[in-house]
Amino acid sequence: MDSRLKWTAILSSLAAILVVALAVYATNGQQRSLTGSGEQKTATVGVDGQQQTQPDEGAAQSAAPRKDGQIGNDLKAFEQEDGFFDPERNPVLEAAKDKSSRLSLMVTSVEKDLRIQIVDNEGEPVTGNSFYVELARAQEDGTETAEVSQKDGSYKDLDKDGVIYIGDLESGEYLVRLAPAAGFKVPASETRVKVKDKVEFLPIDDILLLIKNESEIDAQAEDSGERDALSDADQTEMTDLKAFSGKTKTGIDVSKWNGVIDWDKAKNAGVQFAIVRAGYRGSVTGSLVQDICFEANMRGAAAAGVPVGIYFFTQATNEVEAVEEASATLAWIKQYEITYPIFIDTEGAGGGGRADGLDVDTRTLVCEAFCRTIENAGYQAGVYASRNWYDHNLHTRKLENYYIWLAEYRSVPLYQGYYRMWQYSSKGHIDGIEGNVDMNIMYE
């Protein structure tokens, strides 16, 4: 047999097999159509030669809807199953409910303190509940010590924000237990944590859980920084973008107070860099808040090719809070390219700010803690203040290893210390920005 006849025979055989298979399938389908519609039936042939159907024995009994699964071709039969939507009986819904109600603890220490955050399965703080935690000293084997200090005991989330802060603790190992809470599944075992003796000036990993947005605070009261440099300004203050001689660059610093900025126009007008406010600590409650224009300014500057630095308005009252402020800033800038330093802005807040009354030693330690944390994360750090603030509220010589950014609004500064950047005007005007804008010169 030649190859053509051979392939013809093979294809004919395959076609015959296919025809037989289709015939068998059609026959079985006809039988299923007679017996699978909810009532069992048997096909018979009537006296007139026509096919007829009649109920099979026990058909009435088998036709009753079942309660445990599919019923014939009724795709919604599961709705008839008792308890399908009852989470106590449905394993899928019960598992979802169990997952959503499980709580866990995130516990961190900066210096002789504990910040305990009650979080859900997604790692988000659980708010609106007065959770209790129990704290006890731990022995080396992990058990509770027989003698507890005055600080051991039960602590409540009074403001129901999902965070409990405990300060003034002795350093060492502790066990933290979340007390039972109605409607939630709490961890079965304690969380073991070490209370640090000294601040380490390292970014706090879970700092974003402490961040608030302006809708959650009274922004008018909290964002209340006042410029000490304004009282020292004279009639020689320059208001345009100056081109200075030597190795210098001219730029601006901006925040939400500058509104929407046309960054292309600003660059074309001569802006060579910008220092963007990342956020601030509230002068009343101490909340950490991101500047509402921060992300828009960062994206706009990047798109226009304007290199940036960062500043954060502080109201920290100690080194721990300064580390928190630096940590928040570092978390916000992760996705952006930072060319210039990250500054701590240590102005006053009108006399009523929570940090306005700090002594010179403490305020200097706050600035150092912020800068050390920034540098430990791999960035350049600096301090912003007016001439009077440097002269009377800081040990400036202890800070000169960082970038000193001076605010003094006159044609020639009177400040006698060392500085790397000079904010020479708060009343500048430039294309792309409505109203006044701060003008700066960077010495390279």
- The residue type of 119 is V
Question: Does residue 365 share a domain with residue 435?
Answer: yes
Res. 83: pLDDT tops 80:
no
To which residue do tokens 């060392």 refer?
418
Residues 341 and 439 in one domain: yes
Asked whether residue 211 falls in the same domain as residue 135, the answer is no
Same domain, 322 and 413: yes
SS (H, E, C) the chain: CCHHHHHHHHHHHHHHHHHHHHHHHHHHHHHHHHHCCCCCEEEEECCCCCEEEEECCCHHHHCCCCCCCCECCECCHHHHCCCCCCCCCCHHHHHHHHHHHECEEEEECCCCCEEEEEECCCCCECCCCCCEEEEEEECCCCCECCCCCCCCEEEECCCCCCEEEECCCCCEEEEEEECCCCCCECCCCCEEEEECCCCCCCCCCCHHHHEECHHHCCHHHHCCCECHHHHHCCCCCCCCCCCCCCCEEEEEEECHHHCCCCHHHHHHCCCCEEEEEEEEECCCCCCEEECCCHHHHHHHHHHHCCCEEEEEECCCCCHHHHHHHHHHHHHHHCCCCCCCCEEEECCECCCCCCCCCCCHHHHHHHHHHHHHHHHHCCCCEEEEEEHHHHHHHCCHHHHCCCEEEEECCCCCCCCCCCCCEEEEEEEEEECCEEEEEEEEEEEC
The confidence score (pLDDT) of residue 58 equals 45
Q: What is the model's pLDDT at position 245?
A: 77
The pLDDT value recorded for residue 122 is 84
pLDDT band at 159 (very low <50, low <70, confident <90, very high): confident
- Tell the burial category of 190 from Cβ atoms under 10 Å away from its Cβ (0-12, 13-18, 19+): buried
Q: What is the mean pLDDT of residues 393-410?
A: 97
pLDDT digits (tens, 9 = 90+) for 306-341: 999 999 999 999 999 999 999 999 999 999 999 999
Same domain for 241 and 356, yes or no, is: yes
| Predicted confidence band of residue 142 (pLDDT cuts 50, 70, 90) | low
Do both 181 and 218 map to the same domain? no
Q: Are 109 and 191 in contact (CB under 8 A)?
A: no
Q: Is residue 23 part of a domain?
A: no
Judge if 228 and 357 occupy the same domain: yes
**Is 266 inside any structural domain?**
yes
* Residue 435, pLDDT above cutoff 90: yes
CA-to-CA distance for 36 and 418, rounded, in angstroms? 92
pTM to 2 decimal places: 0.73
**Residue 308: what pLDDT?**
98
Which range of 9-18, 238-247, 345-354 scores highest in mean pLDDT? It is: 345-354
In a shared domain, residues 154 and 217: no
159 with 244, same domain: the answer is no
Residue 110 sits at φ, ψ, to 5 deg, of -105, -50
- 392, two tokens: 């009377």
- Cβ 407 vs Cβ 275: under 8 Å: no
| Last residue in a domain, options 195, 224, 243 | 195
Residue 51 lies in a domain: no
Question: Does one domain contain both 309 and 398?
Answer: yes
Q: How far is CA 197 from the centre of its chain?
A: 28
pLDDT recorded at residue 40: 40
Q: Considering the domain boundaries, does residue 29 fall inside one? A: no
pLDDT at 72: 58
Q: Assess contact for 283 and 352: CB atoms under 8 A.
A: yes
Q: Which of 195, 215, 233 is the last residue of a domain?
A: 195
Tokens of 112: 């002789």
Q: What is the mean pLDDT of the chain?
A: 83
Residues 373 and 430 in one domain: yes
Print the domain residue range for 246: 207-443
Question: In percent, how much of the chain has pLDDT > 90?
Answer: 60
pLDDT score of 10: 54
Q: Is 109 inside a domain boundary?
A: yes
Per the domain annotation, does 427 fall within a domain? yes
> Which residue, of 171, 195, 219, is where some domain finishes?
195
For residues 150 and 182, membership in a common domain is answered with: yes
CATH of the domain at 128: 2.60.40.10
Number of domains in the chain: 2
- Does the residue 296 lie in any domain? yes
Let me know if residue 191 belongs to a domain. yes
Number of neighbours of residue 443 by Cβ within 10 angstroms: 13
